[in-house]
Chains A and B, each alone.
Chain A
Amino acid sequence: MAAKSRHLNKIEPWHDPEERPYVYIENITKDYDGSAAVDEVNLSVYQGELFSLLGKSGCGKSTLLRMLAGFEMPSSGKIYIDGIDMSGIPPYRRPVSMVFQSYALFPHMNVEQNVAFGLKQEKLPRSQINERVDDVLELVQMLDFKKRKPHQLSGGQRQRIALARSLVKRPKLLLLDEPLAALDKKLREKTQLELVNIQEEVGITFIMVSHDQEEAMTMASRIGIMADGRIIQVGTPTEIYEYPNCKYVSNFVGAINMFEGLVVEEEENYAIVRSSVLDDSDIKVEHSASAAIGANVSVAIRPEKVVISKTPLKERNYNCAKGVVQDIIYLGDVSIYHVELANGHIVYSTATNLFRIAERPIQWDDEVYLYWLPENAILLTA
């Protein structure tokens, strides 16, 4: 699912203790009228990464991005880019470029003038400007639109120009604020891959803000989940999806079944949880986090890891449930089954539609059995 990280200098530099972070955010806080929009955030981003800040609107991700660009000054804390402290440096002296959500193209200038604008500020010779403008327009495949004004371009074309205008400066860090939010779904999916390809080609570190988890999963080398001004979890898309560290993350990224209960038994590599939701079985879960007996915990299972069947699994007294199909949502590639247990709790199960079916094997109001493997469940203590 995630883009391959072949453009990174080292594979997964965040695991290497020797590697120096390229962008280092140290204990940063931003207060607005007493309430913290960004609250003591620490973050390291490595050279060549495509890092995505993911969160709901108002979680502070845009404020964090604007502090990196220099439009907002942090109330406390420091930002280092390539080892240089950025405090007090105005946006126009930072080696950072931003692609705005609204693209912010200059409406009174044509494409060429827009892209050349940043280079003119650097007082480069005319010929060099032309050369670099042409190169970058070729990179985003917009060379034929040089003389157009922004209002004569479509949304996708404007997005490319905004990207070109920032790339042409060859910044150390490129910031993207919801770069694809204004595009429609098909175009967005196409542009996601293009953006990743361009990033690999130029090798510039990208930090992207997004509220769309699918977009972040597709594009990012690592994702930082934000809520209420804090970063809750940082990890690769796989880590975030398969090993969420708290209920919030597991709920935010993808759909999930959640069972709350008490730990009744704890062994070295698994725990048994008794939940009031499941009447006739306990939950067995493999875990890394330790949970004491008697502790309140949640167990999360992704719907696609819950197997649905009309026949009961024999000889199992854990991780199984019996219920009635209440609803089936057909999505083409998969179907989502809403199974109501005897006590009214609903469990979701996703199954791939392997066959083209007129007659479904499982129908509304069928009695079904659900089960899952202990290694697919996640034990959440927080």
Chain B
Amino acid sequence: MLPKKVNTWKFHFRGSSLIVGVPYFWLLVFFLCPCLILLKISFADSVLQIPPYSNILKWINDNVAQLTFNFANYRLLFTDDLYVRTFTTSVVIAANSAFACLLIGYPMAYAIVRSRPKIRMILLMLIVLPFWTSFLIRVYSWVILLAPTGLINKALMYLGIIDQPLKLMGNYCAVAIGIVYTYLPFMVLPIYSSLEKIDNSVVEAAYDLGCTPTKAFFSVILPLSMRGVATGFSLVFMPAIGEYVMPEILGDVSTVTIGRIVWSEFFTNLSWPVASALSVMMIIFVALPVTLWYGGQQSRLNKKLNIHEKV
């Protein structure tokens, strides 16, 4: 029977208010406030002033305030074809990239788990290593390969396969390659850790009960690593939707994504309210569902642990 965990500091530590207070304060000021302001400004009008938005709260006289909600920004997002189309393309690209990541990352993670312990550490290190080099550099390395004067075109022309450089960059495919390349560690690591947790005797039990290795993989190993797959997928998929750098460098004018739109609405068009509205939509459609799902997973896990302790 497991010993019941006793909370060490529940009764003893009066400093707990400090421990909770400092990070709480930081999050309220620098995370929650910005989100609320974002929401507020998404209802404002664009005006030519500094800062370039109208105040939605106006004091008519000393006692009466007037709140004006301007839904024009949101109406624009849903009516203008550009925004809707860009939103769907961004999601599709992110999903495709995450899926490609999964196809490359799962076999890698599986091979690493299966390797001998000494080599395993080195292989893991090699997965993490590129993450420590600059993100920009990793994107840039693909420019060197894919550019019209890049190494791939040069090689193909040298071999006489083509005589005009191919347009390898400046399309969604190049953007996806960039995403897969930079986010691959985020797919491999969670899958690796969930695969590593699987008790080897469970797999042996499957063989023992008459499963061929392929069958054992699909009926035991894959279901037990689904949590890692889901974590990895969301770690790639989520940031990829709002990706700005990748389409900017590996794409061209035609590869519009939601991140780029926010950027250009903000920096080029100076329409801060539209940029804010776009951001709010992104949070609602993308970040929120995942957060809820993740929270649900966590609490389910906690429940499981509780049951485990009671037994």
Q: Do chains A and B touch in the complex (CB under 8 A)?
A: yes
> Which A residues are within 8 Å of any B CB, using their own CB?
69-71, 90-93, 96-98, 100-102, 104-108, 117-118, 121-122, 151-154, 165-166, 169
B207 CB contact (under 8 Å) in A71, A101, A102, A154: A71
In the assembled complex, the CB of A193 is this many whole angstroms from the nearest CB of chain B, namely 23
In the assembled complex, the CB of B199 is this many whole angstroms from the nearest CB of chain A, namely 6
Interface contacts (Cβ under 8 Å), in number, total 69
In the assembled complex, the Cα of A100 lies from the Cα of B199 at a distance in Å of 11
In the assembled complex, the CB of B90 is this many whole angstroms from the nearest CB of chain A, namely 34
Known: A151-B308, A152-B307, A152-B311. A102 touches B199 (CB 8 A): yes
Known: A121-B210, A165-B209. A106 touches B307 (CB 8 A): no
Jot down 19 A-B pairs with beta carbons below 8 A, ordered by A: A91-B204, A91-B207, A92-B208, A92-B212, A97-B209, A100-B205, A101-B201, A102-B201, A104-B202, A105-B205, A106-B224, A107-B202, A108-B223, A108-B224, A121-B209, A151-B307, A165-B209, A166-B208, A169-B210
In the assembled complex, the CB of B206 is this many whole angstroms from the nearest CB of chain A, namely 7
- List of A residues within 8 angstroms of B311 by Cβ: 151-154
- List of A residues within 8 angstroms of B124 by Cβ: none
Known: A104-B202, A108-B223. A92 touches B207 (CB 8 A): yes
Known: A98-B205, A118-B210. A104 touches B199 (CB 8 A): yes
- List of A residues within 8 angstroms of B219 by Cβ: 117
In the assembled complex, the CB of B1 is this many whole angstroms from the nearest CB of chain A, namely 8
- List of B residues within 8 angstroms of A97 by Cβ: 208-209
In the assembled complex, the Cα of A298 lies from the Cα of B223 at a distance in Å of 59
In the assembled complex, the Cα of A92 lies from the Cα of B210 at a distance in Å of 4
- List of A residues within 8 angstroms of B173 by Cβ: none
In the assembled complex, the Cα of A90 lies from the Cα of B211 at a distance in Å of 10
| B166 sits at the interface (CB 8 A) | no
- List of B residues within 8 angstroms of A105 by Cβ: 202, 205
CB atoms of A90 and B220 under 8 A apart: no
CB atoms of A121 and B215 under 8 A apart: yes
In the assembled complex, the CB of A340 is this many whole angstroms from the nearest CB of chain B, namely 42
Q: What 10 A-B pairs come out closest when comparing CB atoms?
A: A118-B209, A121-B210, A104-B201, A104-B205, A91-B207, A100-B201, A104-B202, A98-B208, A92-B207, A108-B223
- List of B residues within 8 angstroms of A98 by Cβ: 204-205, 208
- List of A residues within 8 angstroms of B205 by Cβ: 98, 100, 104-106, 165
- List of A residues within 8 angstroms of B216 by Cβ: 92
In the assembled complex, the CB of A175 is this many whole angstroms from the nearest CB of chain B, namely 9
Write out, one digit per residue, whether chain B residues 77-116 have a CB within 8 A of any chain A CB (1) or not (0): 0000000000000000000000000000000000000000
- List of A residues within 8 angstroms of B209 by Cβ: 92, 97, 117-118, 121, 165-166, 169
In the assembled complex, the Cα of A93 lies from the Cα of B210 at a distance in Å of 6
- List of A residues within 8 angstroms of B202 by Cβ: 104-107
- List of A residues within 8 angstroms of B5 by Cβ: none
- List of A residues within 8 angstroms of B208 by Cβ: 69, 91-92, 96-98, 166
| B14 sits at the interface (CB 8 A) | no
In the assembled complex, the Cα of A106 lies from the Cα of B211 at a distance in Å of 13
Closest Cβ neighbor of B209 among chain A residues: A118
Closest Cβ neighbor of A168 among chain B residues: B209
| B12 sits at the interface (CB 8 A) | no
CB atoms of B207 and A151 under 8 A apart: no
- List of B residues within 8 angstroms of A93 by Cβ: 210
| B304 sits at the interface (CB 8 A) | yes
CB atoms of A100 and B211 under 8 A apart: no
- List of B residues within 8 angstroms of A104 by Cβ: 199, 201-202, 204-205
Interface of chain B residues 264 through 311 with chain A (CB within 8 A): 304, 307-308, 311
- List of B residues within 8 angstroms of A152 by Cβ: 307, 311
- List of B residues within 8 angstroms of A166 by Cβ: 208-209
Beyond contacts A92-B207, A96-B208, A165-B205: 16 other A-B pairs, Cβ-Cβ < 8 A, are A70-B207, A71-B204, A71-B207, A90-B207, A91-B204, A91-B208, A92-B208, A92-B210, A98-B205, A102-B199, A104-B202, A105-B205, A117-B206, A117-B209, A121-B211, A121-B215
- List of A residues within 8 angstroms of B304 by Cβ: 151
CB atoms of A106 and B220 under 8 A apart: yes
In the assembled complex, the CB of B27 is this many whole angstroms from the nearest CB of chain A, namely 34
In the assembled complex, the CB of A88 is this many whole angstroms from the nearest CB of chain B, namely 15
In the assembled complex, the CB of B221 is this many whole angstroms from the nearest CB of chain A, namely 11
- List of B residues within 8 angstroms of A102 by Cβ: 199, 201
Q: Tell which of B209, B223, B311 has the most Cβ of chain A within 10 Å.
A: B209
In the assembled complex, the Cα of A98 lies from the Cα of B209 at a distance in Å of 8
Closest Cβ neighbor of A118 among chain B residues: B209
- List of A residues within 8 angstroms of B201 by Cβ: 100-102, 104
CB atoms of B212 and A107 under 8 A apart: no
In the assembled complex, the Cα of A104 lies from the Cα of B209 at a distance in Å of 12
- List of A residues within 8 angstroms of B223 by Cβ: 108
- List of B residues within 8 angstroms of A106 by Cβ: 202, 205-206, 220, 224
Q: Tell which of B207, B216, B223 has the most Cβ of chain A within 10 Å.
A: B207
Interface of chain B residues 193 through 231 with chain A (CB within 8 A): 199, 201-202, 204-212, 215-216, 219-220, 223-224
Closest Cβ neighbor of B310 among chain A residues: A152
Closest Cβ neighbor of B223 among chain A residues: A108
In the assembled complex, the CB of B194 is this many whole angstroms from the nearest CB of chain A, namely 12
Write out, one digit per residue, whether chain B residues 130-167 have a CB within 8 A of any chain A CB (1) or not (0): 00000000000000000000000000000000000000
In the assembled complex, the CB of B207 is this many whole angstroms from the nearest CB of chain A, namely 4
Q: Tell which of A91, A101, A153 has the most Cβ of chain B within 10 Å.
A: A91
In the assembled complex, the CB of B98 is this many whole angstroms from the nearest CB of chain A, namely 23
